[in-house]
Amino acid sequence: MRRRRAAVAAGFCASFLLGSVLNVLFAPGSEPPRPGQSPGPSPAPGPGRRGGRGELARQIRARYEEVQRYSRGGPGPGAGRPERRRLMDLAPGGPGLQRPRPPRARPLPDGAPGWPPAPGPGSSGSGPRLGCAALRNVSGAQYVGSGYTKAVYRVRLPGGAAVALKAVDFSGHDLGSCVREFGARRGCYRLAAHKLLKEMVLLERLRHPNVLQLYGYCYQDSEDIPDTLTTITELGAPVEMIQLLQTSWEDRFRICLSLGRLLHHLAHSPLGSVTLLDFRPRQFVLVDGELKVTDLDDARVEETPCTSSTDCILEFPARNFTLPCSAQGWCEGMNEKRNLYNAYRFFFTYLLPHSAPPSLRPLLDSIVNATGELTWGVDETLAQLEKVLHLYQSGQYLQNATAGGRAEYQRLPGSTIPQEDYRCWPSYHHGSCLLSVFNVAEAVDVCESHAQCQAFVVTNQTTWTGRQLVFFKTGWSHVVPDPNKTTYVRASLT
């Protein structure tokens, strides 16, 4: 694993981290050649496959046509008037397209589209802005991870902003298996890079608060392959389920709400209903507490064709579902239902009910059960998640709480208790008991429910729902001034 990471890191540095040693690769270049120029070299057919050159060209064209459909399909955000030139044609430099030097004339496999691509019609106007110039003096490169096709790195731009760079992993399975089959490194790179290009187009077309932001892209020569593609995106933190289970219910609910809003957007996107064929926590990241999808190269828009309901079986490891076949010959809602059940089995069932406020548990259980049985679609699921948010944010979930048996608490404004902490779970702070409350009455209820609690300190900090953060204490023997906090102590210690 260390050797693999070292190899990937070396390839990345050669491609993207153009510091003092590799600065020549980012020297300003001329405009790309215009359409009609010979666009690229012909890879040799693989040694173990007859007709490999034609098969590789067929696969490249199939991926190109998929990218073209997504680029032109529907009036997506930022889309301009469709242009006549093909997405993959070589064209004069457009928005965000910068290249260090023009490629030499190189023939392509028979029937393969040109490379590199020009920006699609959706990228004009409000499209991405960062290009190769933004990467000339990046610093602090860190390997984040890699998958079947891509490697991801974290870098810091000259202005200080941290971004993620994605590129085809030269040591990855996708490129390696293709080279072994066809023996054509450049052609295989182009095949793999179309997945990155597809993701780039979808990030732009599906823009939404829960879709990772695309900041830009760059073409540059790398190793023996010209015009390699790098995408520049928003940086997020990996989703670690074990860590999430140790966070507050409020933060876990935020992730589920983010996912519900994302699935609603995908079901009603300008491209049609989009399904995530590779739906796992690793395909998402967290940005300031919000869940965002980052990996879209395995997304699909087309619904499944059918002649009867027997063609509409939605298969999962634990169970299967049979969906109706519409009169138009498509499985009804299969893309939407696939996303929803995956949300249930990877997120909702673990994050929604556990340690939730008791009065919200029945509604949360209904959401989990309905998504697990696919009795609801994404519209109803999101409506119920938004209802939970309203009840929680407005404090209505506290209406059934009683004040009977409460102790009296004395208010000490402008003060805090610096020590006398105890641990509780879940807490916003590992070394103390820091929880969010709707109001002081709820803080009293929490303190009364903890045997060791004798006081609490209300801070001026709030969570994403506007709830106040409160420290709960074992005593109040040492109270000190603090203008930003208010201390409440039990009127009589027993």
Q: Using CA atoms, how far apart are residues 135 and 112, in angstroms rounded to an integer? A: 30
Distance (Å, whole) CA 169 – CA 196: 11
Q: Which residues, listed in sequence order, are joined to residue 305 by a DSSP beta bridge?
A: 330
Task: Provide the CA 366 distance to its chain's centre, in angstroms.
Answer: 27
Structure-block tokens of residue 356: 């939730």
DSSP-H helix ranges across 161-248: 173-182, 185-205, 241-244
For the chain, the straight-line distance linking the first and the last C-alpha, in angstroms and rounded, comes to 59
Residues 6+ apart with CB under 8 A from 226: 40, 103, 104, 106, 186
Specify the length of the chain in residues.
Answer: 494
Distance CA 282, CA 240 (A): 8
Determine whether 146 is exposed, middle or buried from the number of CB atoms within 10 Å of its CB (0-12, 13-18, 19+): buried
Catalytic residue annotation: 278
Give the C-alpha separation, 59 to 70, whole Å: 17
CB 339 within 8 A of CB 266: yes
**CA–CA distance, 427 with 247 (Å, rounded to integer):** 7
